[in-house]
Amino acid sequence: MVNRDEDHEDPAQAASRLTGRPATGARAASGSPAEVTLDGGTPVMVKRSDAPGAVRAEVAGLRWLAAAGAVRVPAVLGHDERWMVTEWVATGRADPGAALRFGQTLAALHAAGAADFGAPPPGGPVDAYIGLAPMRNAPGPDWPRWYAEHRVLPYVRAAVDRGTLRPDEAAVFERVCALLPDLAGPAEPPARLHGDLWNGNVLWGADGEVRLIDPAAHGGHRETDLAMLRLFGCPHLDRVLDGYQAAAPLAAGWRERVGVHQLFPLLVHAVLFGRGYAEQALTAARSALSLT
């Protein structure tokens, strides 16, 4: 149960309550996320969400990613159903050496695995989020069927309902989904995915190491994380891929499958942000159909 007195907390007050340490300062104190300074000069990040289960999903995701002992993530210092306090990360410039190491550790993260495609992190809710969009973590028996049922078609239907896609355009995605067993490449075990791996969620630490934030973690196909890095741009992506391939080579034909894996984030963005992303998703879908 949420304490009604907490409705009116600001980030500094929430950080103090959840860590048991007085807050001595804050930036963007009325916003989320916010940087708060605790006693002794310790900076922390404070984030609030009123979406049911969103904080629990993010906390579970961060802890699941951390448990792999691969890519680093900020430690969770305290949380409740609305607020989350994590370590603050001092950032620097993207560096080719850090990018190479990031690729290697991302491969190790994926190799840590998941119980099933669609499996939520331990303790995480089935009904989670990717950004502001609902995302259901329901297990599926194989990647093509699960990806169609839980990562493509729900967002196609939502985009049609919003008028972002026309019904005749939805049929393009339905054809892709029907052909996914032929488009997916060799079968692979479920990977431990960050799940929302665009460049804004990759922090290039001042210490030369990458941290990942804001996961939409679940069990999935490892090429999905890599496709999202390519879709929204990542500094030194060629070095990231070099490091990844050296640690865990991708199956033949992975470059041709990038568009298939980009359908999910593009459709999410179409639902949230409109027609421009729907057109990009249609281009990716038609390109996938041309491979058959």
**CATH topology classification for 4-87:** Phosphorylase Kinase; domain 1 (3.30.200)
The secondary structure of residue 253, as a DSSP letter, is T
DSSP string, 157-184: HHHHHTTSS-HHHHHHHHHHHHHHHHHS
Confidence check: pLDDT of 263 > 80:
yes
258: nearest Cα among 219, 234, 229: 229
Q: Provide the CATH number for the domain formed by 96-289 in this structure.
A: 3.90.1200.10
Whole-number pLDDT of residue 11 = 94
Give Cα 223 distance to the centre of its chain.
13
pLDDT tens, residue by residue, 2-30: 454 556 899 999 999 999 999 998 876 55
Q: Report pTM.
A: 0.94
Confidence check: pLDDT of 1 > 60:
no
Compare 192 and 291 and report the one with higher pLDDT: 192
Do the bridges between strand 127-130 and strand 83-87 make them parallel or antiparallel, or are there none, so unpaired?
Answer: unpaired
Confidence check: pLDDT of 237 > 70:
yes
pLDDT tens, residue by residue, 151-172: 999 999 999 999 999 999 999 9
Whole-number pLDDT of residue 8 = 80
Q: How far apart are CA 217 and CA 118, in angstroms?
A: 9
Confidence check: pLDDT of 32 > 80:
no
Compare 45 and 1 and report the one with higher pLDDT: 45
Distance linking the first and last C-alpha atoms of the chain: 52
pLDDT tens, residue by residue, 58-107: 999 999 999 999 999 999 999 999 999 999 999 999 999 999 999 999 99
Q: How far apart are CA 188 and CA 209, in angstroms?
A: 28
How do the domains of the chain map onto residue ranges? 4-87, 96-289
DSSP string, 94-158: --HHHHHHHHHHHHHHHHT--SSBTPPPTT--SEEEETTEEEE---BSSHHHHHIIIIIHHHHHH
